[in-house]
Amino acid sequence: MMRPMTNPTNPTNPTNPTNPTNPTNPTNPGGTAAEGPVAAVRDGHVLLVILNRPEARNAVNGPLTLALGAALDEADRDPEVRAVVLTGAGDVAFCAGADLKAISRGESLNPPGTEAWGFAGMVTHAISKPVIAAVNGAAYGGGTELVLAADLAVAAETATFGLPEVRRGLIAAAGGLVRLPEQLPRKVAMRMILTGAPVDAETALRWGLVNDVVPADRLLETALGLAHQIAANAPLAVQASKRVARGIRDGAVPAEADAWAASDHEILALMASEDAMEGPRAFAEKRDPVWKGR
């Protein structure tokens, strides 16, 4: 989805950005009564972070960006947190991507001060703590891009993945075009990028987009188990290993800089087109888009 074009800043960290809760059953986030766009709960040395907009299929708007980015920032600074698990509330969607209704209203997905974090406060927010995506349902557009930004991924059997941006007059500018061809065989990635067609969990597993596929009722048990396996290791060694393996330096990945610049250039030009306005508008109006190629 669309990546912010403004200059990066260092966002301040609100006192309680994620509205943390302490659900009685942290492996059932769909059953929590948390308020706010993101909920967070500690499970030993693991931080479980829950995208908490099930009524909008956990789509990303400005408040969710601020809350998720702040939660990741806090996790990275807290020496007691050794791994992060990211999932979505409910049993339908992990994340449906950008909130196209918010975009059609002219709302920014990145509140001032969150630009350096990128889409959803995560895609260019390179923290040292390992992040595991627990994909509980549909992960489309920015949802798949969150999976690409994570270090590991576990998917429910019902999960689906896709980059449908070309069907909305947009491009996958929050890492889809940068990372999918890097993490999947190129022809497989290009088919997903150019057709916008989704793939199921078993296909994602076969091509290495996710590490494991499990029944939905075992998803968080499996993801949290993997996180605790990581957390049992020497934390400084784990963090150093991630930084080297991912090419992280000073909170960024310099090797991706040229690809991000190309993506930014293309989305900036595309957003001035009539088609880019037509796609979100047609989605909001529940009709087929009428493309003009201009």
Residues 71 and 47: beta-carbon distance below 8 Å: yes
Rounded Cα distance between 194 and 259, Å, is 18
In our burial notation (b when 16+ CB lie closer than 10 A, e otherwise), range 146-160 reads: bbbbbbbbbbbebbb
Is 278 one of the annotated active-site residues of the chain? Answer: no
107, 145, 202, 278: the active-site residue: 145
145 flagged as catalytic = yes
Query: Residues 74, 115, 165, 256: which is the catalytic one?
Result: 165
- Per the DSSP assignment, residues forming a β-bridge with 153 are 133
The 3 state secondary structure assigned to 225-267 is HHHHHHHCCCHHHHHHHHHHHHCCECCECHHHHHHHHHHHHHH
Catalytic center residues: 145, 165
